[in-house]
Amino acid sequence: MTGAPATVAELVDVAEAAARAAGSVLERFAAKRRAGGDVGLRDKGSARDLVTDADLAAQAAVAEVLAARRPHDGVLGEEQAERQGSSGLRWLVDPLDGTTNFVYGRPDWCVSVACEAGDRPGHPLAGALFEPTRGQLWLAGLGLGAWRDGTRLGPLGPCPLAEALIATGFHYDLELRRREASMVAELLPRVRDVRRVGSAALDLAGVADGQADAFVEAGVHPWDWAAGGLLVTEAGGRATMTDLDPMGLLVAANPALHDELLELLAGLAT
């Protein structure tokens, strides 16, 4: 392997630096949008799947930090083709999670940056979520806990399914949306309520932060949930990508509710 080894704490520091750099770029684009300026809105093959110049500029800002501080690591970003590395580490980047919210001037969007070992995909070592609109920063490191603005999160307490607030989202693919809508229709009578924020990363941060009891969504990409999933697990919960949907179904919650939801969703899938 090439490149200096890094501690988890050092990787968290790099994740924070990259997320803040992208956040600064996005704040400038948000100000431009509020002033009526053009942010280069277009779709990626579907009117539901949007991208803007802000997404691409934020991705470039993250890439610049990683090139300077972790040049031998791999990178997989939503707006960037995969780059192979030689260090055994890979960064998962969503430079603007919640693009539709951003376009409409809604506040729920963020930068998500995580690092995982290449031989253990789906098991992040470090992660950062930065929400520029509210100036909130969530950090997590494997074995170091989950934090929001310096406050440690967790442990996540038990919650009966009937009293659970469930966060969810909907994929861009129409057939998957239909399956997700059916799942939500089955869940809704069994839980306290369901929320749809429009950012999987923020939904997961919300579970770690006690703003929701669980998150369930199908078709979530690795860059969508790497940092947020680590926040949940470091806050004492579980985040599992299951095969209950052909595109994968992510379930995140405190351990007891996580298992109860898995059992319920497995029954709905049969």
* Angstrom distance (rounded) from CA 11 to CA 230: 13
Q: So what's the pLDDT on residue 89?
A: 96
- For residue 270, pLDDT over 60 is answered with no
Q: Please state which of the ranges 90-94, 146-150, 167-171, 188-192 shows the lowest mean pLDDT.
A: 167-171
**Residue 2 pLDDT class (50, 70, 90 cuts):** low
Give me the sheet containing 249-253, strands edge to edge: 193-196, 165-168, 214-218, 249-253, 238-242
Domain ranges in the chain are 8-152, 161-269
- For residue 108, pLDDT over 90 is answered with yes
Q: Tell me the CATH number of domain 8-152, given options 3.40.50.150, 3.30.540.10, 3.40.50.10800, 3.90.1150.10.
A: 3.30.540.10
Half-sphere exposure for 57 (CA within 13 Å, toward CB): 14
Q: What is the CATH number of domain 161-269?
A: 3.40.190.80
- For residue 20, pLDDT over 80 is answered with yes
Q: So what's the pLDDT on residue 171?
A: 83
Q: So what's the pLDDT on residue 82?
A: 76
pLDDT in tens, 228-258: 999 999 999 999 999 988 889 999 999 999 9
pLDDT in tens, 127-179: 999 999 999 999 999 999 999 999 999 999 999 999 999 999 998 788 888 88
* Angstrom distance (rounded) from CA 235 to CA 35: 39
Count of positions (residues) in the chain:
270
- For residue 262, pLDDT over 90 is answered with yes
Q: What percent of the chain has pLDDT over 90?
A: 78
**Residue 211 pLDDT class (50, 70, 90 cuts):** very high
Question: Going by C-beta distance under 8 Å and a sequence separation of 6 or more, which residues neighbour residue 203?
Answer: 167, 168, 169, 195, 197, 212, 215, 217, 228
pLDDT in tens, 23-69: 999 999 999 999 999 998 887 766 777 789 999 999 999 999 999 99
Task: Provide the b/e sequence for 244-265 (b: ≥16 CB within 10 Å).
Answer: bbeebbbbbbbebbbebbbebb
Q: What's the 3-state SS for the chain?
A: CCCCCCCHHHHHHHHHHHHHHHHHHHHHHHHHHHCCCCCCCEEEEECCEEECHHHHHHHHHHHHHHHHHCCCCEEEECCEEEECCCCCEEEEEEEEECHHHHHCCCCCCEEEEEEEECCCCCCEEEEEEEECCCCEEEEEECCCEEEECCEECCCCCCCCHHHCEEEECCCCCHHHHHHHHHHHHHHHHHCCEEEECCCHHHHHHHHHCCCCCEEEEECCCHHHHHHHHHHHHHCCCEEEEECCCCCCEEEEECHHHHHHHHHHHHHHHC
- For residue 4, pLDDT over 90 is answered with no
Q: So what's the pLDDT on residue 3?
A: 61
Q: So what's the pLDDT on residue 64?
A: 96
Tokens of 44: 């990626």
